[in-house]
Chain A
Amino acid sequence: MSLLQVNKVEKSFETANGKVKALKQIQLDVEKGEFITVIGPSGCGKSTLLKIVAGLDTAHEGSVLLDNRKVTGPSIEKGFIFQEPRLFPWLTVEKNIAANLPVKNKETKESVKQLIELVRLKGFENAFPKELSGGMAQRVAIARALLRNPKVLLLDEPFGALDAFTRSHMQEVLLDIWQKNRTTMLFVTHDIDEAIYLATRVVIMNPRPGTIREVIPVDLPYPRKKTDASFQEIRQRVLSEFEKVEEHQAAAI
C-alpha cells in the first residue's frame, strides 16, 4: 500500500461565469520516502491539489488516503510549508519551532536543538523573525513542520520568493533533510530545474481543467549536477512535455 493515495480527486470553483473545473480525475500514489515534485503553469491547480492533500480544502470529490486513513482536515501528520514562512513574529526562532509545544520540556528542547542544526540555523535560536533573511525564515518554517514528525511534508512553492542563490542553497538543505530523515516530500514548484534537481518523480500538470499529464521518474544519483548531460536529457523531456501543454492550452483557447 502506498503511503499517500490520491483517488479521483475533482474540484470545481463557482465563479461569475459558472462552474470552473480546477482539478479533474487526479490519481496519484506516493510511496514512503519518495520525493515528488509537481510542476505546471500557473492556474493548473497544483496548489489546490496540495491544499486538498493537506486537508485545508475539504470541499472536493474523490478522496485522499494517508496511511490508509481518509484525510478529513489539517493535522501535524501532514506538515505544510506555505509560500511565505508565516512565522509568529513575537516568538524567537526556537519558540517558533516549538510553537504550541512546551519549549521547557526536555525532549522538545532537545529535538528543537537538533532541528536547528539540521536546517543550519545554529546561533539564531533567540533571534526574532524580523532579524532573519527570507531563506532563513523559510528554514525555520521547515523545522517547525519537521518537529511534529510528519508522515509527509507538503511544500507549496516554498522557495518561489527567494533569489537564485538562496534558492539553490535551500534545495541543498532540503535534500539533506530528506536524506537524513527520509521524510516523504510532495513539493509544488514552477521551476523546471528545481523540480528535476530534487525529485525522484516529477509530476507534470495540464491546466484548465487541472489534470496530471505525465509522471517522469528521475533516476539520477544525488547529489545531482544541473550541467550534466543526463540532467539535461531529462530537462529536455520535461520541456517537450511543456510544449505539448502549451499547445493543449492554445487549442483550448
Chain B
Amino acid sequence: MSNQTGVLTRSGVERTPSVKETPVKRNRKKLPLINWMRGLALPVLVVLIWEAAGAYGLISATLLPRPSEILVAFKDLIVSGELYAHFKISLFRAILGFLLGGGLGLLAGLAVGFSSKTEQTFDPTLQMMRTIPSLAVIPLFILWFGFGELSKILLISKAAFFPLYVNAFLGIRGVDSKLFDVAKVLEFSKWKQITTLILPAALPNILLGLRLSLGAAWLALVAAELMGSSEGIGYLIMDARQFSQTSIVFVGIIIFAVFGKASDSLVRFFEKRLLKWRDSFIG
C-alpha cells in the first residue's frame, strides 16, 4: 500500500469546499424594465421605419397600410363590437379544442408512459396518426362533421393532442432510475411514487408539452376558420382580404400574435413558479 495518507480520493467529483453554508440564490438580475425594453427595441424600430415609409408614399397602402391606419381600423372594429364578437367565438373554439385535445393527450401520454404494455399497444398507432398533416384531414373532417363547430373543434383537438402526448410520455420515461431505488428503500406506496416522484420529475416536460399544445391549437384555429366559417378572427381576415381591406387583415394577424404570446406567457409564468427548484442555466 503506497498511499501514505490512506485517503483514496477520487478526482474531480466534489464541487466546492464545505464553507459554502448559506443558500445560494442564482436569480436573474432584477431589472425587468431594461429587459422589457430590450425586447421592445426591435419591433418599435420596425414600426417607426414602416410608418415613415408609408407617410412618404414609399409603399402602397393596399399592400402594406401604415401602422396608424391599422390602429384606426382596430379602433373602428372595437367600437362597432365586431372584433369582440369574432374574438369571442375564436377564443371559445381554441379553448375547447385545446382542453379536449390537450387533456386527452396528457392522459394518453401518462397512460403510455406508466406501462410498457400500453405503450406497445397504442404508441405505434398514435405515432402514425401524429405524422398526418392537419390540412390533409380537413376535407374528411368537413365530410364527417360538416361545416359547423364540431369539425373545427376536432381539428384543433387533433393538433393539441400530440405535443402533450409526446412530452408527457417522454417526461415519465426520463425520471432518474436512481430515485426509484430511493423510493424502494423508503417504502413508497404506488400512489406516493406517482405523486412525489414521477409527476414532479415529469413536470418540466409536461409544461413544455402544454406550451407546444397551446401553440398548435392556435395554429389549427386559423386553419379551421379559414376552411370555411362565418365568424371568428380567421373569417375576419378572409373576409377583409376579399375586399382588399388590408388593415383589417393586419388587425387579425396582430390579434393572433398577441394572444398566442399571451397564452405562452401564461404557461411560462406557471413554469417559473412550479419549477423554481430546477438548477439550470439562465444565460
Evaluate contact between B6 and A191: CB separation under 8 angstroms: yes
Within 8 Å by CB of B279, from A130, A164, A239, lies A130
Taking the nearest CB of chain A, how far is it from the CB of B271, in angstroms? 13
A-side contacts of B5, CB under 8 Å: 193
Evaluate contact between B181 and A136: CB separation under 8 angstroms: no
Taking the nearest CB of chain A, how far is it from the CB of B265, in angstroms? 23
Taking the nearest CB of chain A, how far is it from the CB of B24, in angstroms? 6
A-side contacts of B18, CB under 8 Å: 133, 135, 162-163, 165-166, 169
Evaluate contact between B1 and A242: CB separation under 8 angstroms: yes
Please tell me if B79 contacts chain A, counting CB pairs below 8 Å: no
Select from chain B the residue with minimum beta-carbon distance to A246: B1
CA–CA, A249 and B248, complex, Å: 85
Evaluate contact between B278 and A165: CB separation under 8 angstroms: no
User: Given contacts A75-B187, A86-B181, is CB(A130)–CB(B196) below 8 Å?
Assistant: no
A-side contacts of B17, CB under 8 Å: 163, 165-166
The interface-forming segment of A14-22, A87-95, A177-185, A207-215 is: A87-95
Please tell me if B10 contacts chain A, counting CB pairs below 8 Å: yes
Evaluate contact between B178 and A82: CB separation under 8 angstroms: yes
Please tell me if A134 contacts chain B, counting CB pairs below 8 Å: yes
Select from chain A the residue with minimum beta-carbon distance to B280: A130
User: Given contacts A89-B277, A128-B276, A239-B1, is CB(A80)–CB(B185) below 8 Å?
Assistant: yes
B-side contacts of A43, CB under 8 Å: none
Please tell me if A220 contacts chain B, counting CB pairs below 8 Å: no
Please tell me if B273 contacts chain A, counting CB pairs below 8 Å: no
A-side contacts of B183, CB under 8 Å: 100
Select from chain B the residue with minimum beta-carbon distance to A80: B185
Evaluate contact between B8 and A84: CB separation under 8 angstroms: no
Evaluate contact between A136 and B8: CB separation under 8 angstroms: no
Q: Tell me the A139-188 residues at the B interface (CB within 8 Å).
A: 144-145, 148, 160-166, 169
A-side contacts of B13, CB under 8 Å: 160-161
A-side contacts of B25, CB under 8 Å: 131
0/1 string, A44-77, CB within 8 A of B gives 1: 0000000000101000000000000000011110
Please tell me if A201 contacts chain B, counting CB pairs below 8 Å: no
Select from chain B the residue with minimum beta-carbon distance to A89: B277
Please tell me if B75 contacts chain A, counting CB pairs below 8 Å: no
B-side contacts of A79, CB under 8 Å: 185
Evaluate contact between A90 and B201: CB separation under 8 angstroms: yes
Evaluate contact between A133 and B15: CB separation under 8 angstroms: yes
Q: Tell me the B1-51 residues at the A interface (CB within 8 Å).
A: 1, 5-10, 13-18, 20-21, 23-25
Taking the nearest CB of chain A, how far is it from the CB of B232, in angstroms? 40
A-side contacts of B89, CB under 8 Å: none
Evaluate contact between A86 and B182: CB separation under 8 angstroms: yes
Taking the nearest CB of chain A, how far is it from the CB of B270, in angstroms? 14
Please tell me if B132 contacts chain A, counting CB pairs below 8 Å: no
Ordered by A's residue number, 25 sampled pairs between the chains whose C-beta atoms are within 8 Å are A56-B181, A56-B184, A74-B187, A76-B186, A82-B182, A88-B196, A90-B200, A100-B196, A124-B23, A129-B277, A131-B24, A133-B18, A133-B21, A144-B186, A160-B10, A161-B10, A163-B18, A165-B18, A166-B14, A191-B7, A192-B7, A193-B5, A193-B7, A239-B6, A243-B1
Top 6 A-B pairs, shortest CB-CB distance: A130-B279, A192-B6, A166-B18, A131-B23, A100-B192, A90-B200
Measuring CB to CB, which residues of chain B are less than 8 angstroms from any residue of chain A? 1, 5-10, 13-18, 20-21, 23-25, 178-179, 181-189, 192, 196-197, 200-201, 203, 276-279
